[in-house]
Amino acid sequence: MNLMLVPGISETLLLDAVDPRAAHVRKILGMRVGDTFDIGAVNGPRGKARIVADDAAGMLLSLTWGYLPPPPLPLRLFAGLSRPQTMRKILREAGPLGFAELHFVRCLRGESSYAESSLWTDGEWRSLLEEGVQQAFSTFVPPVFHHECVSQALDAAVGCEILFADNYEATAPLARWEKRTDKPVSLFVGPERGWDGAERDAARKSGALLVHLGPRVLRTETAVTAAAMLVAARIGGLDSMDKL
């Protein structure tokens, strides 16, 4: 991790001696008492942690706080539920890609069992999401929402420009899309088996623009990353090289 997320702003933090974060600081970062490393409060500022003590009682950190990192992009992801291993990859990349919200959608061609995976029921999703945020040197952990169908998800995207990625019936290339309003963007990426015809019809009725990512069929996690970067470039999200 490039930055350790902590729950909130405080002057000190005591990590249990066997806390995985403490182990990472010792073994991976090679830090000892007196050393400092980067921290961030969830959805808050970044700062520095100095190791005050590290013994059987735990690792005691003294915390100082700086400035807020850049906000997330005005971009929401609506991803069709796929196999847990695919969803894990998407969750890890969501923070680095700068999504403001994450929406996961049950689709007609998806397996109903995907929503019952321990990934979602045991809280693993949160750990994966925070892992990506820490790697991105960010602090913003996007909220996660679940929808029972595409129509419900489209209702949640009202007030946005809706881009519906589809490699079967879309004729507009996402690479040439131009944003024409100040509305946030909702990006829909289908499950591994793609969208059903009824889901495409619902998207069209909602005013969504069906777009494609080129002639090659991409894995769901690859499509999410590729589409997010194309949209980010179009809305100016990649213009700055200032350190986050």
Specify whether the CB–CB gap between 61 and 49 falls below 8 A.
yes
Contacts of 195 (CB under 8 A, 6+ apart): 80, 107, 109, 150, 164, 166, 168, 203
Q: Are residues 8 and 126 in the same domain?
A: no
Residue 104 inside a domain? The answer is yes
pLDDT of residue 112: 86
Q: Are residues 36 and 99 in the same domain?
A: no
The CA distance from 199 to 206, in Å, is: 11
Q: Are residues 119 and 230 in the same domain?
A: yes
Say which range, 70-74, 80-84, 239-243, has the weakest mean pLDDT. Answer: 239-243
**pLDDT over threshold 60, residue 235:** yes
Domain assignment of residue 38, given as a range: 4-65
Q: Which of 40, 65, 90 is the last residue of a domain?
A: 65
Q: Are residues 21 and 97 in the same domain?
A: no
Residue 243 inside a domain? The answer is no
**pLDDT over threshold 90, residue 238:** no
Residue 85 inside a domain? The answer is yes
pLDDT band at 239 (very low <50, low <70, confident <90, very high): confident
Residue 31 inside a domain? The answer is yes
pLDDT of residue 9: 95
Question: What share of the chain has pLDDT > 90, as a percent?
Answer: 89
Q: Which of 98, 102, 101 has its CA nearest to residue 72?
A: 98
CATH number for the domain including 21? 2.40.240.20
Q: Are residues 54 and 117 in the same domain?
A: no
pLDDT of residue 180: 84
pLDDT band at 130 (very low <50, low <70, confident <90, very high): very high
Q: Are residues 61 and 87 in the same domain?
A: no
What is the number of domains present in the chain? 2
3-state SS assignment for residue 31? coil
pLDDT of residue 243: 52
Residue 240 inside a domain? The answer is no
Residue 89 inside a domain? The answer is yes
Cα-flanking dihedrals φ and ψ of residue 221, to 5°? Answer: -65, -35
Q: Are residues 205 and 136 in the same domain?
A: yes
Residue 239 inside a domain? The answer is no
pLDDT of residue 51: 97
pLDDT of residue 128: 96
The first and second tokens of residue 59, run together, are 């690792």
Higher pLDDT, 67 or 188: 188
Q: Are residues 222 and 103 in the same domain?
A: yes
pLDDT of residue 241: 59
Higher pLDDT, 164 or 123: 164
Residue 219 inside a domain? The answer is yes
Specify whether the CB–CB gap between 172 and 63 falls below 8 A.
no
Q: Are residues 81 and 58 in the same domain?
A: no
Specify whether the CB–CB gap between 62 and 52 falls below 8 A.
yes
What sign does the CA torsion over 32, 38, 43, 44 have?
positive
Q: For residue range 181-195, list pLDDT tens digits in order.
A: 999 999 999 999 999
Specify whether the CB–CB gap between 164 and 203 falls below 8 A.
yes
pLDDT of residue 32: 96
- Mean pLDDT of all residues belonging to the chain: 94
pLDDT of residue 221: 95
pLDDT of residue 70: 87
* Phi-psi label, residue 30: left if phi above 0, alpha if psi -120 to 50, beta otherwise: left
Q: For residue range 138-177, list pLDDT tens digits in order.
A: 999 999 999 999 999 999 999 999 999 998 999 999 999 9
Q: Are residues 143 and 204 in the same domain?
A: yes
